[in-house]
Structure 1
Amino acid sequence: MPKSINIAVDGYSSTGKSTLAKDLAAALGYRYVDSGAMYRGVTLYALKNGLIKNGRIAENLADYLEDMHLEFIFNRERGASDLHLNGEDVEEEIRELEVAKYVSDVASISEVRKFLVKAQQKMAGKKEVVMDGRDIGTVVMPDAELKIFVTARQAVRTSRRHGELIRRGKDVTKQEVEANLMQRDLIDSTREDSPLMQAEDARLLDNSELSLKEQLEIGLNWAKETLATT
């Protein structure tokens, strides 16, 4: 029976970890899970249902978690999976800057994390999963056979995220993008419940000067090494 592993990809916002995770999953024939999209889905629900007002998140947000059905459905046109919230494709909406503005605060709520971690661990139960996020290697899949922590310089991350938003037709400045990234970094790395950190056994990948092909080659080599020794 062929060996199979789980791969955890963690890192800060706009480091390219999602691209790496998607590419690794495609190359290995594994399932890709975007944990960040799930937190964005909860945030979008909160915004649409008046649970975020005047910059404040309702204290009873956790009471609505059971009303949120989140699932990934393959989009043949895109060749990738889209997040669906209560039966509606919200892949485009969850990438809006308004969602990004609040997602780290929503993700810092313990009840939200427990709810989504449970769902993510269920997805990873059958192996052959590549999952990216903030706490995958430390909390969601601490037993993942391969853990990768992705990083990049702040200026590089800002440029990448700004370019992505501009290509999607969003009117946003680099200053706004940088401020959002810095705010999310601070919240993600200092929250009490499962803060963003590099797992002790994770491999560090700084892709500031790497092409997408180069970072994939590195990740694939690590995966092959892991498979050979598992």
Structure 2
Amino acid sequence: MSSNVIAIDGPAASGKSTVARRLSEALGIAYINTGALYRAVAWKLYRRGLDPYSVTPGQVDQVLAETAISYERITPDAPLEIKIDGVFPGSELRSAEISAAASKVATMPNVRAWLLDLQRGMAKLGRIVMEGRDIGTAVFPDAQFKFFLTASPLVRARRRLSQSGETVDGATLESVARDIAARDEQDSNRAVAPLRRAEDAVFVDNSEWEIEQTLQFMLDQIKEKDAMEKETVLTYRVPYADTDQMGVVYYANYLKYFEMFRSEMLIDAGLSYLQMEKEGIAMPVIEAVCRYKSSAHFEDRLSITGRVAEAKGVRVKIECEVRCGDRILADGYTIHACMDMKTGRPTRVPAALLKLLK
């Protein structure tokens, strides 16, 4: 089962933090900025009088052993913020000095290993938005949703320059662009969990998009996938009329249950039989298979589930399973041919039905 995580990866100044925060607000779920964790470690090293650029692995291990980091809310309605050793560093973590040192800290294998359990532990909060540079590849490779957010180097430099406290005094567009390029090089070539796009991540280049456009695109992607992966469960109480002389459900009724489920699944997907018929498409059954495992009886409460297992050309295969509690009573499938009701000839599977294919 995949982790209930919306993973957003990408290079510096690509808009990850802003989009992740807005996404969490729109969905009413927690937002975790993993970059803040590395900033927190850099902040702690400076507080100990240690230089992140020359500190030894042993010194880092000693500091980590004496460090407590958590995500907490300052007030009940506030967003989650980094708390380190009982202190909320707040804006101190967003200084140019800490930001630069965080990139160095993120290359340290012992720091990444120490923070990994903390990051993965955030999944206990339920669905979360987590952003960073290796969320979809290393932290949550099984994340339910993955996005790789980027923009052109020039656009990213302009964004970083406009962010208060993120650049040093006197910074220019050219100097910020050089710093971003150096950061990209370091993040992409580090030995541990380098910055890269997960193979199954949705690529989002928002160079020419406003924040609202990026947000809406990602929300649409999430809602569409949620709808596709929503499992339809049809609950049915066996009436006396469904049983035979032996007091068990008559065998042919299981095919009726399959049909009841198909109808419910299509309605849930916004594509009912009635709608398809209005569009001139019929789906007659051309093959039906039912394998019987156990018997159902009068007043048993059945759960019927299934999925679109195959859809190509003009044919659709829908699998079904009938359960009573933990017992599988029957499973099987039906194969349908899509037909143009006006001509009586085969027609291609509707695009909306293809989206149900998992």
Superposition TM-score, scaled by structure 2 size: 0.59
For 1:125-144, what per-residue CA distance to the aligned partner results, in whole angstroms no more than 9, with x for missing partners? 45301100010000111111
Change (3 A) 1:66 1:184: same
| Higher normalized contact order (CA 8 Å, seq sep 6+, divided by chain length) | 1
Secondary structure of the residue aligned to 2:164 is helix
User: What amino acid sits opposite 1:228 in the alignment?
Assistant: A
2: CA distance, partners of 1:179 / 1:73 = 35
Change (3 A) 1:209 1:76: farther
Aligned-residue offset at 1:72:
2.2
Q: Give the fraction of aligned pairs with identical amino acids, expressed as a percent.
A: 35
Aligned-residue offset at 1:214:
0.6
For 1:182-202, what per-residue CA distance to the aligned partner results, in whole angstroms no more than 9, with x for missing partners? 222111110111101000000
For 1:129-173, what per-residue CA distance to the aligned partner results, in whole angstroms no more than 9, with x for missing partners? 11000100001111111100000011111111111036x896241
In structure 1, what is the equivalent of residue 56 of structure 2? Answer: 58
In structure 1, what is the equivalent of residue 142 of structure 2? Answer: 143
Q: Unaligned 5+ residue runs, structure 1?
A: none
1: CA distance, partners of 2:65 / 2:167 = 34
In structure 1, what is the equivalent of residue 95 of structure 2? Answer: 96
User: What amino acid sits opposite 1:106 in the alignment?
Assistant: V
Change (3 A) 1:76 1:196: same
In structure 2, what is the equivalent of residue 110 of structure 1? Answer: 109
CA contact (8 A) 1:165 1:172 kept: no
Structure (1 or 2) with the larger CA radius of gyration: 2
2: CA distance, partners of 1:7 / 1:169 = 29
Deviates more, 1:89-98 or 1:58-67: 58-67
User: What amino acid sits opposite 1:195 in the alignment?
Assistant: P
2: CA distance, partners of 1:117 / 1:125 = 14
Secondary structure of the residue aligned to 1:165 is coil
For 1:12-56, what per-residue CA distance to the aligned partner results, in whole angstroms no more than 9, with x for missing partners? 011001111111111111111110000100011112212217x42
CA contact (8 A) 1:52 1:58 kept: no
Larger proportion of strand: 2
Larger proportion of helix: 1
Superposition TM-score, scaled by structure 1 size: 0.90
In structure 1, what is the equivalent of residue 181 of structure 2? Answer: 182
- How many residue pairs get aligned? The number is 225
What CA RMSD, in Å, does the superposition of the two structures yield over aligned residues? 2.1
Deviates more, 1:59-68 or 1:73-82: 73-82
In structure 1, what is the equivalent of residue 82 of structure 2? Answer: 83
1: CA distance, partners of 2:167 / 2:6 = 33
CA contact (8 A) 1:135 1:197 kept: yes
User: What amino acid sits opposite 1:134 in the alignment?
Assistant: R
2: CA distance, partners of 1:165 / 1:106 = 23
